[in-house]
Structure 1
Amino acid sequence: MEFRHLKYFVVVAEERHFTRAAERLGMAQPPLSQQIRKLEHEIGAQLFRRLTRGVELTDAGRVLYEDARRIVNEVELAKSRAQGAARGQTGSIRVGFASSVVFHPVIADIVRAYRESHPAVRLSPSESNVEALIDDLMAGRIDLAIIRQTSQESDRLKTEALLDEDMLIVLPPQHPMAASPCIDLRSIAHETLIMFPRAIAPALYDEVISACQRAGFTPLLGQESTQVASAVSMVAAGFGVSVVPNSIRQVHAGVSYHAIEGTRPKAQIVLAYRSGEFSRVVRNFVGLAKRLVQERSAVDAA
């Protein structure tokens, strides 16, 4: 029993007329009648009773109609789901976020825009440090990561720059330079610098240290914070000063944030995914993220 025969049968049963059914199916009436006769021959029972103006189902036809309609509907649904998956409109995506990037407002906008434009895709977020997210990505535990620039090089890993943000100096409450909106990096040469462990974000760590060295000093490193954002809390507690990405200024802990004079160190945010990624869902997310950032940049530049 061929699927097309069941589909033809269902349409004729619903229209109760061969000519109207043929028009709906986009075919001529004689071939349709021939296909229905083949189906009746295969089943060994008459399915339609011919009337003066149309047809009606026989007892055998009514029984077959219930099963045939269910089968046709399920096949059409399966086809629709497969097509949706091929377009990246259905399925799931697991996205990892570096702990510090979640503070950037554009990241929330990307997630919101993706969920609105792909409502049938289940997005599962997770948060960790850069190195752990790269490991999860390579192990297939996540599909894509939004992280700070990574120093890891691999033929299996592809990264695409998303945006750069300036880094700021963070000073504790009542610091003598707290009233200065812009500070030379050399001004903190004799301060204790609070940094996060290099292992959780090597490229970002190296960017800060290199900026200090370019400014002519080697920083006095103090106690490490557990994460990039938690450095702010340690500054507020009086452990020293820090240099953090601009978006971290959303952390209000009684500290003050200051622009850096001259060449400012940058904190880059990148998209990371497996090289040769074939998932349309992942490619759609990457494309949307890049378009949104470009649109925001164009608006800011106007």
Structure 2
Amino acid sequence: MELRHLRYFLAVAEELHFTRAAARLGIQQPPLSQQIRQLEDELGTKLFRRLTRGVELTESGVFLLKEARLILNQVEHTKAAVQGLARGTSGHIRVGFSNASYFNPVVSQIICDFRERYPNVVLTPFQSVTAELVHALHEARVDVAFLRAPFDDDGLASELIVEEPLVAVVPEGHPLAAQRDTGLAALAKDPFLLFPRATSPGFYDSIISACQQAGFSPKLGQEAPDIPSLVHLVGAGFGVSVVPQALSQISAQGVVYLPISGERPMAWTRLGSRRNETSEAVKNFISTARRHRIVGSVVAR
């Protein structure tokens, strides 16, 4: 039994007339009748009873009609799914987000744009720290990841998507809180809150380097599990910190955000992926991210 037999049978079964079915299929009636006879011979039963004007289904024909529709629908579904995967218009992408990278409006725009362009691709978010996401990319537990720091890994590709300035975060009662901005060196005497270096060594080191370039080594205080937690620890009076500008949208009680004057230290958001990626959907995601990349610009507050 071939799919063409089922398609011919379905046309006759729905039209209940060989001439109309042949016209619908775009073939002559004799070849159609021959194909139906071949199908009946293979199945060993009659599928139609010939009437004066047209035909009617036998009991076997009624059963085959239901099955033929299911089979042909599944064939069309499978065909569309395979073609969608080949074009990257369907599928599943696991997207990693590190260190509150999802707060960046450019990242949000990338996600929204991709979902609008490719509504049949399912995006599953995965939140973790940069170090864990790098492992997850290698182990194929995530397919792409927005990372807060540069990393050196021959097995992974990395594209800079957006850079934004860091801003100082101080408690509401801090002497600097009433100022419009501050130099980074003004934080030298305060306990400086950071996240553990192991979670994002590149980003951690860039902050330490920025402080040293400003003329001081920060007095490290309480560690926070991640960047958003730093804001709340500052509000609780544990010290001061710096965070990417996009995080200033966190309205934590007792916290003031201050632009950093002078040579402003920057934060980077990169898109990590596996080299030689074969998934067309993932390739489409990377292309979407490239269209939104903002490098050398300040992300609006």
Summarize the Cα distance change of 1:221–1:56 in structure 2 as closer, same or farther, 3 Å threshold.
Answer: same
In structure 2, the partner of 1:20 is: 20
Equivalent residue for 1:71? 71
Q: Which residue does 1:82 correspond to in 2?
A: 82
Match of 1:105 in 2: 105
Check 1:24–1:195 CA distance in 2 against 1; reply closer, same or farther (3 A cut). Answer: same
Number of the residue aligned with 2:186: 187
Deviation at 1:10, TM superposition (A): 0.8
Note closer, same or farther for the CA distance 1:27–1:149 as it changes in structure 2 (3 Å cut). farther
Secondary structure at the residue paired with 2:194?
Answer: coil
How much does 1:157 deviate?
0.9
Q: Output the aligned Cα RMSD.
A: 2.6
Give the whole-Å Cα distance in 2 for the aligned partners of 1:215 and 1:99: 24
SS in 2 for 1:9: helix
- Partners in 1 of 2:105 and 2:40 — Cα distance? 64
Residues 145 and 272 of structure 2 are in contact (CA less than 8 Å); yes or no, is this contact kept in structure 1? yes
Please list the CA deviations of residues 161-215 of structure 1 after superposition, one character each: whole Å capped at 9, or x if unmatched: 2111111111222222222222222222333322222111112112212222222
In structure 2, how many angstroms separate the alpha carbons of the residues matched to 1:279 and 1:96? 16
Query: 1:199 matched to which residue of 2?
Result: 198
* Whole-Å separation in 2 of the counterparts to 1:244 and 1:37: 76
1:288 corresponds in structure 2 to 288
Aligned-pair CA distance for 1:239? 2.8
Q: How does 1:21-170 map to 2 (within 5 A)?
A: 21-51=21-51, 53-151=53-151, 153-170=152-169
Q: Which residue of 2 aligns with 1:248?
A: 247
Aligned 8 A contact 1:196 1:227 in 2: yes
Structure 1 Cα separation of the partners of residues 165 and 260 of structure 2: 9
The 1:253/1:74 distance shift into structure 2, 3 A limit, reads same
Aligned partners of 1:149 and 1:268 also within 8 Å: yes
| 3-state SS of 2:227 partner | coil
> Structure 1: any 5+ residue segments left out of the alignment?
none
Quick check: 1:225 aligned with 2:218? no
| Cα distance, 1:53 vs structure 2 | 4.5
**Aligned partner of residue 108 in structure 2, secondary structure:** helix
Structure 1 residue 59: Cα displacement:
4.2
- The alignment partner of 2:223 has SS state of coil
Aligned partners of 2:282 and 2:111: how far apart in 1?
A: 13
**2:281 counterpart letter in structure 1:** V
Query: Is 1:150–1:202's contact at 8 Å kept on the other side of the alignment?
Result: no
Identity %: 49
How many residues are treated as equivalent by the alignment? 296
Return the alpha-carbon distance in structure 2 between the equivalents of residues 113 and 3 of structure 1: 39
Larger deviation, residues 202-211 vs 27-36: 27-36
Distance 1:64 1:39 in 2: 11
Greater Cα shift, 247-256 or 263-272: 247-256
Distance change in 2, residues 1:289/1:29 (3 Å): farther
Asked if the contact 1:130/1:200 (under 8 Å) is kept, the reply is yes
**Where does 1:264-279 land on structure 2 (aligned, <5 Å)?**
264-279=264-279
Structure 1 19/234 Cα, relative in aligned 2: closer, same or farther at 3 Å?
Answer: same
User: Which consecutive residues of structure 2, in runs of 5 or more, have no partner in the other structure?
Assistant: none
